Structure 1
Amino acid sequence: MTRLRSALAQTVCVLMLASTAVLWYLSRERPIETARPRPTGLLVNSSVCQLPEFHPWDPTVLEVLREERPLTPCSGDSPVRLTQLGRTLTMDVHRDRLRAGCRLDCCLRSVRREQDGHSDDQFRLGEQEVCFRGRTALSVSEQFVKVTCACSDEPDVAIFEDFRAFFIPEVDRLRSQQRVSVSDVQQLSVYLVGIDSVSTLNFRRFLPKVREVLETDLQAVPMLGLTKVGANTLPNLVALLTGLRLDQLNQSLREEPYDHQPLIWKHFSSLNYLTMYTEDMSNMATFNFHRRGFLTQPTDIYLRPLHLASEQSRLAQRRGDHCVGHRLTFELQLQLLQDLMAAPDPSSPHFALVFSNAPSHAGPLSHIGALQPGLLQFLRAYRTSSRRNSSVLILFSDHGMRFGPVMRTELGGYESRMPLLYVILPPWYERQYPRRVASLRVNSRRLTTFFDVHATLRHLLADAGASLPNVPSPGLSLFAPVPEPRSCRDAGVDPAWCTCRRHVALPADHAVVVRAAVAAVRHIDTVLLRAARDRCARLGLLRVMSALLTVSEGGGPVQDTEYSLRGFDELTVQLMTAPGGAEFEATVRCYSGPGDRERGTAGGQALAVRCRPEHRLEVLEVTRLNLYRGQSDCLTHHHDERRYCYCTDLL
């Protein structure tokens, strides 16, 4: 028995060494972009913040883009194609795609949220079916429906499934009857359309026609200095919807639902706005990804039950999880929003948040190009709709791409911090509020955040007659000038996400860089994985991929007193660990004290003098750069740890 254990231990050791060697070889052969992107100008040029502007087709990302695979289109060889117009549904049948003798029958059933105390992860199908055949136009009375088609001689063998969402005016009519007419307030509808992981640069690459419609036809104002305030979707949407940071929410984010949080749609609802919230990819939704979601339906219109139902349909998603039948899930969302906008007057004003995770969340970068036809159709319809004169539309993203090969480039790291955002105002708004619009245009090239977008929504709420509680937030309304000398610290942007300062590249084998990388790995093991230590392998530094030193220019345009007074250097280090080949980016500070600072010297030799082994290192942030699917499945109740963990049962 002892001999067997010894043999097993030796085998495990050999396997671990072999896997580490393979990982080292693969990482050595992987193309890591070392060339630096060339700025073409400045997006923000203030006394304390300079945000560089880059060309979207900068050579440093071209190799990444060349290797990307196209997105699988949703349209295919389906035997049925549904057409939806308002509440009417018609069907076209491609007979050549049916087997001989098949007489097609289609039936629909309602899809509803389970209301008997369950949370967001339950839905139920209606018991009654409504069936139709051929091109008969069917008037639908349910908000969400599942459509199933089968040959009449095999009614239990479905050959087609689709899911549809309809705007039911009765919901709007109820809100309208509850409204109190107030003549001296201005209740504009607010529509927020969000797309996951789209930087301003990637928007310019793959949605150029959308950009043209926004800027030329709709006179939309881009917020070019918008900077994310957290690593992923949750902290950025929380900032947008509450004006708060995650650590300011009075709850355990993992264990409690979000029903009692101060989400801004509640303020709109209190003014009898009709509210709507939808996110596709139910498993990735902001308030549901390893979290409890909502125990009660959060808004008047809430699409989650329909998405849950469609994701259980192999036929509806046979072309990919970004599809529902022959349409993108995003197109399903936009159609419902467009139908809501087309509600006849008089009706209540609306607050709607539409957010799409598919197909952009995990990339590749080029996949957002598939969204262009649907977005163009939606924006052109909005331009000619009656709601155009009584609403504000914001097209935005939460952050740029966070995973994949682009994150091995310096430009990829910059893009991940700079999300897309456009503001579209009614045509008459500038005539009535010239100072607001002038301020918005000035702020287009100032450092801004989602805290500011929230403050702007509060500004619109105040116009609509809301009495709002104070929020301890750094946000400033974009309808007033954002201060020119605004730093990341002033704006609520942590150092890890701040792009205001210049960087210089350092050799990967620089002594201070290696120390910083080792400190980051130690931080992962001892701090970030503390709660899951018994199930996660100890990590070791396999390789430093790249390093940047943040430059504080005391005599130049960036007057960064914090650096000089506190005496520290800040590094951004990309590294790979073993086992598992995880790629991380760490923000690390070395504190040497103000007496050891050599102002204006940014090279590696000067850094070695300032940051010696006896000086303290502080790890501010560690983010994952590559996907970790399958590496941390042993963790079921430790969501935050999953991005760092390599399960011991995989060794």
Structure 2
Amino acid sequence: MTSVTVDIHLPIRGKKRMLFGTSKLRMLRHIPFGKCHGRRMMGTVFFMLATFGIYHFTTVTTVVDITDRVYISPSHLACQIPELSVKNPEIYHLFHPVDPLRCEPEADWVQVEGSVATITRQARKKHGGDIECAFTEIIRVDDDTSRNGLTTTTHDSFTFVNTDFYKVSCEAKDGEKWENVIAGIRQDEEVMEKTGWSKVPKEGLGVNMIVFVFDSLSRNTFIRTLPRSYEYLTETLGAHILESYNIVGDGTPQAIIPILTGKNELELPESRRRMGNSAQYVNNFPFVWHEYAKSGYVTLFAEDQPHIGTFNLRLRGFDSQPTDHYMRPFYQEIFPTYGDNPKYCLKGTPRHRIFLDYLRNYMTVYKDKPKFAFALHAELSHDDYNLINVADDDFHDFLQFLKEDGHLDNTVLAVMSDHGHRFTAVRKTQQGKQEERLPFVSITIPPMLNKKVPTAVVNVRLNSRRLVTPFDMNPTLLDIVKFSGARLGQVTDRGISLFSEIPPSRTCSDAFIEPHWCACLTWEKVSTKEERVKQAGKAIVHYINTYTAPQRSLCLEISLHKINWASKLLPNKGLLSFKKNADIDGFVPDMSGETNITQEVYQLQITTNPGEAHFEASLTYNLHQDSFSVKIDDISRTNKYGNQPHCVVKSFVHLLKFCYCREPPPRPIVQEP
């Protein structure tokens, strides 16, 4: 079934505006027309335009109903996450498009595809035909040092064998020289022999697991700055967005360590560099990739900022290489040359594209092998909330590659961030503080799991609106190699797999989230006699009347009879008073901050006439703009409507809970569907 959604802004004029005093009701209408086609649809739209004085006809879009989509109203959840507008003017003005990166105009002389580096035809043609290149191995010693290995000279192509990373020095026939560092996937017989689908446990789900993490992007900032990628994830890949994913600590380690180990830093062996000889290497952590390696998977771990690495800035890092493919030696080699290259480039290639190409080559070389990869990209987003926009097209293309090359046929893909921005102008606002705690997290499920474990897939959908933390990601990753079943999670469990149902009663306390990191809103009962509550009640009624207005010949206007109760949702006091961490490890909070409240969420139950209908609704009040905003999905009918909407039951089903028909019902009485 195809429906049409028309987004319309309606003004409040004359007496209706006076009704709200100084408040301005700003509304965005979403009116589904069902099976409404061609001239009939256009006639209806133009009738609305002519009749209601609409001044912004913003968009007409076609939407395909997804019959298996699960939608659960958040009103029953113990944790109420604030609905934060992507275009909140307090924040949105800080975001702007950025210019493309300007790398060296001449293309790189050597290109890498999978395990093979090739001197390009363009370089040969430009520089007299023959080019000789020397490839020198970069051999990892430890996380902080590497050494040169063997050097091989070629005039054509070269195959990666002993390492993924090589220094390249080329000289052309015309005397020109070119040097660079390249990354590819070595041909490793040992890796090939120890991995394979035949070695994957039968109790596993039989799929790959790929996790791609961006540093410092809230859910809203991801949408603002990576719009093509977001659209591809949601519209083409059908990714599930975890709208209530809440961080559990400050900074990247406190976001990543629970995902990869299921523990927080204090529960793990002492590894802080400043502890000197007592600090252990982090190899002793129970990383999830150990389970994948034992189960026949090819493993990869990649980060692009060696000086602030998750396990290297404060922690001692790795002694032995942690995974089959590990990108740190590459970035350790090129990091000192950043000042000699165009900004954010390595010679003629953007550095983020090199990162993506490494993953692309990994997926290609091991297409027929089970894979686990965890990649964290930080350079573009760690210190700037606009710059990541330059990677939108490239990341979109990477996602497209994964789909079109068939990798997503048997891969669970998590695209996410560790946390929102922590040190920028955005963070100084109330919404920015909330966004810091709500990073972007998406899960794309391969179609094969819909057949293999359908209940588990349904649970992922349900959990997209439940309170989720990094601790829940760990059992989710472990379920890939040893599926524990699709169950109802226990509220007492700190980590609950996304393939099990997270209880709707879960609170921040249950999930081991300290109050100052909790984004859940706190209920505060308010008097129904407060002037703002009265305005909110009138706003709900006005919105419902506007929603039914196109069918006014069928449906009566309703009026406010009574406000039964009202509550206000506010950020908890811990969130508002948190300023920063008081220690260098991020364990002790400084609670001396004072964040001004700029938005309040009200929830009301009202009774309207005629018909004594009971409605519950959530509205957002903007203190700066003195305005309410409400969405039709946030209004619920809480008593039976019976035969009140009999006149629209066949033609305008979206009005069933709102319409009180002008004419009495015919006999026999139409039953409520």
TM range (shorter): 0.5 to 0.7
1:357 corresponds to: 378
Any gaps of 5 or more consecutive residues in structure 2? 1-25, 30-71, 274-278, 486-491, 525-564, 582-587, 595-673
Any gaps of 5 or more consecutive residues in structure 1? 1-37, 466-471, 505-553, 564-568, 578-583, 591-651
- Distance in 2 of aligned mates of 1:375 and 1:328: 12
| Contact 2:258–2:264 (CA under 8 A) maintained in structure 1 | yes
Choose from 288, 297, 311 the match for 1:273: 297
| Contact 1:44–1:447 (CA under 8 A) maintained in structure 2 | no
Choose from 315, 327, 339 the match for 2:349: 327
1:57 corresponds to: 87
Q: CA deviation at 1:275?
A: 1.0
| Contact 1:47–1:485 (CA under 8 A) maintained in structure 2 | yes
SS in structure 1 of the partner of residue 283 of structure 2: coil
| Contact 2:105–2:348 (CA under 8 A) maintained in structure 1 | no
Choose from 150, 153, 156 the match for 1:130: 153
Kindly tell me: are residues 327 and 496 of structure 1, through their superposed partners in 2, closer, same or farther at Cα, counting changes over 3 Å? farther
Map Cα deviations across residues 65-102 of structure 1 (whole Å, 9 max, x no partner): 25x8x46715232464433322332325569998xx99
Kindly tell me: are residues 120 and 62 of structure 1, through their superposed partners in 2, closer, same or farther at Cα, counting changes over 3 Å? same
Does residue 75 in structure 1 map to residue 125 in structure 2?
no
Q: CA deviation at 1:559?
A: 12
Question: Following superposition of structure 1 onto structure 2, how do residues 521-536 of structure 1 map, counting pairs within 5 Å?
Answer: none
SS in structure 2 of the partner of residue 375 of structure 1: helix
Q: CA deviation at 1:574?
A: 7.4
2:482 corresponds to: 462
SS in structure 1 of the partner of residue 503 of structure 2: coil
* Structure possessing the higher radius of gyration over alpha carbons: 2
Q: CA deviation at 1:334?
A: 2.3
SS in structure 2 of the partner of residue 50 of structure 1: coil
1:109 corresponds to: 136
- Distance in 2 of aligned mates of 1:336 and 1:72: 21
| Contact 1:257–1:292 (CA under 8 A) maintained in structure 2 | yes
Choose from 359, 382, 386 the match for 1:366: 386
| Contact 2:160–2:184 (CA under 8 A) maintained in structure 1 | no
Question: Following superposition of structure 1 onto structure 2, how do residues 482-561 of structure 1 map, counting pairs within 5 Å?
Answer: 482-502=502-522, 556=567
| Contact 2:422–2:436 (CA under 8 A) maintained in structure 1 | yes
2:113 corresponds to: 85
Kindly tell me: are residues 576 and 337 of structure 1, through their superposed partners in 2, closer, same or farther at Cα, counting changes over 3 Å? closer
2:468 corresponds to: 448
Choose from 260, 268, 287 the match for 1:263: 287
1:163 corresponds to: 182
Q: CA deviation at 1:333?
A: 2.7
1:379 corresponds to: 399
2:591 corresponds to: 587
Does residue 572 in structure 1 map to residue 594 in structure 2?
no
The code of the aligned residue for 1:402 comes to R
1:634 corresponds to: none
2:341 corresponds to: 318
- Distance in 2 of aligned mates of 1:215 and 1:337: 21
Q: CA deviation at 1:425?
A: 1.2
Kindly tell me: are residues 379 and 570 of structure 1, through their superposed partners in 2, closer, same or farther at Cα, counting changes over 3 Å? closer
| Contact 2:107–2:348 (CA under 8 A) maintained in structure 1 | no
| Contact 1:112–1:123 (CA under 8 A) maintained in structure 2 | yes
| Contact 1:277–1:299 (CA under 8 A) maintained in structure 2 | yes
- Distance in 1 of aligned mates of 2:449 and 2:415: 18
| Contact 1:187–1:464 (CA under 8 A) maintained in structure 2 | no
Map Cα deviations across residues 495-527 of structure 1 (whole Å, 9 max, x no partner): 1111112599xxxxxxxxxxxxxxxxxxxxxxx
Kindly tell me: are residues 575 and 174 of structure 1, through their superposed partners in 2, closer, same or farther at Cα, counting changes over 3 Å? closer
SS in structure 2 of the partner of residue 313 of structure 1: helix
Q: CA deviation at 1:206?
A: 1.4
Choose from 497, 500, 506 the match for 1:480: 500
SS in structure 1 of the partner of residue 475 of structure 2: helix
SS in structure 2 of the partner of residue 451 of structure 1: helix
Map Cα deviations across residues 313-353 of structure 1 (whole Å, 9 max, x no partner): 358x6123x43333333322322222222236653x11111
Does residue 189 in structure 1 map to residue 217 in structure 2?
no
SS in structure 2 of the partner of residue 229 of structure 1: coil
Does residue 305 in structure 1 map to residue 329 in structure 2?
yes
Choose from 248, 256, 261 the match for 1:237: 256
2:61 corresponds to: none
| Contact 1:120–1:304 (CA under 8 A) maintained in structure 2 | yes
| Contact 1:40–1:52 (CA under 8 A) maintained in structure 2 | no
| Contact 1:48–1:485 (CA under 8 A) maintained in structure 2 | yes
Kindly tell me: are residues 300 and 574 of structure 1, through their superposed partners in 2, closer, same or farther at Cα, counting changes over 3 Å? closer
- Distance in 1 of aligned mates of 2:122 and 2:367: 36
Aligned residues: 468
Bigger mean CA deviation after superposition, 260-269 or 79-88: 79-88
| Contact 1:267–1:461 (CA under 8 A) maintained in structure 2 | yes
SS in structure 1 of the partner of residue 447 of structure 2: coil
Kindly tell me: are residues 96 and 153 of structure 1, through their superposed partners in 2, closer, same or farther at Cα, counting changes over 3 Å? closer
Give me the identity figure in percent: 25
- Distance in 1 of aligned mates of 2:481 and 2:522: 38
Q: CA deviation at 1:262?
A: 0.7
Kindly tell me: are residues 43 and 419 of structure 1, through their superposed partners in 2, closer, same or farther at Cα, counting changes over 3 Å? farther
Q: CA deviation at 1:277?
A: 0.6
- Distance in 1 of aligned mates of 2:325 and 2:361: 12
1:337 corresponds to: 359
Does residue 291 in structure 1 map to residue 318 in structure 2?
no
Kindly tell me: are residues 56 and 138 of structure 1, through their superposed partners in 2, closer, same or farther at Cα, counting changes over 3 Å? same
State the TM-score, normalized to the length of structure 1.
0.64
Q: CA deviation at 1:182?
A: 5.5
- Distance in 2 of aligned mates of 1:103 and 1:90: 10
The code of the aligned residue for 2:92 comes to L
1:217 corresponds to: 236
Kindly tell me: are residues 126 and 415 of structure 1, through their superposed partners in 2, closer, same or farther at Cα, counting changes over 3 Å? same
| Contact 2:578–2:593 (CA under 8 A) maintained in structure 1 | no
SS in structure 1 of the partner of residue 120 of structure 2: strand
Q: CA deviation at 1:446?
A: 1.1
Give the CA RMSD over aligned residues: 3.7
Map Cα deviations across residues 553-580 of structure 1 (whole Å, 9 max, x no partner): x9848799xx9xxxxx647247799xxx
- Distance in 1 of aligned mates of 2:478 and 2:493: 12
- Distance in 2 of aligned mates of 1:187 and 1:266: 17
Kindly tell me: are residues 86 and 423 of structure 1, through their superposed partners in 2, closer, same or farther at Cα, counting changes over 3 Å? same
| Contact 2:522–2:570 (CA under 8 A) maintained in structure 1 | no
Q: CA deviation at 1:139?
A: 4.1
2:169 corresponds to: 148
Kindly tell me: are residues 247 and 177 of structure 1, through their superposed partners in 2, closer, same or farther at Cα, counting changes over 3 Å? closer
